[in-house]
Amino acid sequence: MEPPNPTPPRTHLLHRSRSHWFHSAEPYAPSAPLEGVLEVDVCVVGGGVTGVSTAYHLKEMDPHVSVALLESEVVGFGASGRNAGQLIVAFGESDFKAQMRRHGAAKLREAYTYIHEGISTIEALIDEHDIDCDYEQTGYFEMGLRADDSTTLDEYLAFCREIGQESFLEQISEAQVARSFQSPHFGRAVFDRRGGQFNPLKYLRALKLVAQRLGVQVHENSPVVCIEREPSCIRLQTGSGTLRCQKLVVATNAYSHLLPGLEDLGMVRSQSPVFVYANVTEPLSEPHWRALNWPRRAGVNLMSKLFYSFAPTRDGRLLYVGGYYARVPQGNDMSLDISSNFLREGPRHLTSFFPALSDLRTAQSWGGPISTTRDFVPHVGLLADGRIGYANGCWGHGMPLGTRNGRTLARLMLDRQAPDAESWLVTRNKIDWPSRMIVSPLVRSLSAAVRRDIRKIGRKMQPRLIFEK
């Protein structure tokens, strides 16, 4: 008699609807939840790119430090597993003149270098650990819009020259763009040779395994329900276990305001969640790609208030994000995952930008929260209780930023005397949002004003781009 088949590994398919990356992922066995009592030197809360990078870098820098990571769902559940899969060098708000007035060229040069270092760190980790995450160093396009007369693009170029970024950029004429993309709405463009596209969930799951091999204890499906700060330790309670640590890293980004026990340290007001939405098409046929004549299969990001991002995937789909459809959640409701408006109207807009794709169907639509700070500058550093490090404010460049923040937070937790500790991103006086009773209607009011401006741009385009209210 043959022995029975071994029990197959426990797989996790509950989150397939969260994004294209989850839907197309291999079956996944989450790490076991925290049970009983665990004591470590450093606990990291949050299994997104910032948390996993922090845990990895802690063990990479000091193999003797004990590290545990707690994730309330599964690794990559938040923005790290729902984004557009692009690696771009971007920082802060899109008003470049305002950035320069507020921060000056020297600080902005440091900030953009910081993001670039995040991409370089991802590339180094992929090479060192042989991570299969479909990474292609395609670079990306910052695309001007004819209806804007490419004025934002001119401001961007002047800004990049002032902060020493122009050596990475190549200007693309409107005639070249027209030949390359066959779009009636694109104007001039800037091509940035840095970065490219990858599968963010594959990357994150692989980095988690690397961290575990170094000795990091990962516990998924372990929501933190209580944090108590005692003189001798910090105590975290989950549904089925207790963890005691000497130092804590809060890497929960858009969910940071929900974490209990840190209210007196300002975590509730350090960031505000904003929901953004994405669609992905069915695979394009070869005739589709020939009609588009898309060079380098690099991502395209509109340099306009009418923000759209278009990114080809490894399996030949087109993943696109529409900024017009971003929404601020009501109160603490973080459950809205799909925009019916973007699901309905997005394909019509895609066809407007790319008429050759008029017969292409949407395969999946999803959404989720990103984290925004009041001045759009990411937060990273220590709280008033110096045992606790944190980072939030991923705002459109989360994967390289989160990876780079992981290095910074690891050094802060290990008390390493390094340039990171003196960076203005760490030491600056961080501006918090007002009370959450005020911030939600305030942000919704600002968002409504931006949407009015966007609709005006849509009416100027030929053919017009119509947005339903």
Encode pLDDT of 229-266 as tens digits.
999 999 999 999 999 999 999 999 999 999 999 999 99
Q: Tell me the three state secondary structure of residue 114.
A: helix
Instruction: Count CB atoms within 10 A of the CB of residue 177.
Output: 21
User: Both 247 and 328 in a single domain?
Assistant: no
Which value, to the nearest 10 degrees, does the dihedral of the CA atoms of residues 236, 393, 451, 192 take?
A: -140
What is the CATH number for 456? Answer: 3.30.9.10
d(CA 58, CA 216): 9
User: Both 352 and 236 in a single domain?
Assistant: no
DSSP 164-206: T-GGGEEEE-HHHHHHHH--SSEEEEEEE-S-EE--HHHHHHH
User: Both 156 and 225 in a single domain?
Assistant: no
User: pLDDT under 70 in the chain at which residues?
Assistant: 1-14, 396, 436-440, 442-446, 469
Structural domain range at position 217: 16-82+201-271+375-433
d(CA 125, CA 430): 30
First to last CA, the chain: 67
- The pLDDT, as a whole number, for residue 331 is 75
Instruction: Count CB atoms within 10 A of the CB of residue 361.
Output: 8
pTM above 0.85? yes
- The pLDDT, as a whole number, for residue 4 is 42
User: Both 318 and 207 in a single domain?
Assistant: no
Helix orientation angle between 151-162 and 96-128, rounded to the nearest 10 degrees: 70
The first and second tokens of residue 217, run together, are 């204890």
- The pLDDT, as a whole number, for residue 9 is 46
Length of the chain: 469
Q: Is 135 inside a domain boundary?
A: no
- The pLDDT, as a whole number, for residue 226 is 96
User: Both 345 and 280 in a single domain?
Assistant: yes
Instruction: Answer whether the bond into residue 463 is a cis peptide, omega within 30°.
Output: yes
* Number of domains the chain contains: 2
- The pLDDT, as a whole number, for residue 436 is 64
- Sequence-ordered list of residues with C-beta below 8 angstroms from that of 469, at least 6 positions apart, any chain: none
- The pLDDT, as a whole number, for residue 345 is 93
Residue 69's DSSP bridge partners are 44, 218
DSSP 354-397: -GGGTTPPEEEEEEEEEEE-TTSPPEEEE-SSTTEEEEE--TT-
User: Both 361 and 379 in a single domain?
Assistant: no
Instruction: Count CB atoms within 10 A of the CB of residue 174.
Output: 14
User: Both 348 and 301 in a single domain?
Assistant: yes
Q: Is 10 inside a domain boundary?
A: no
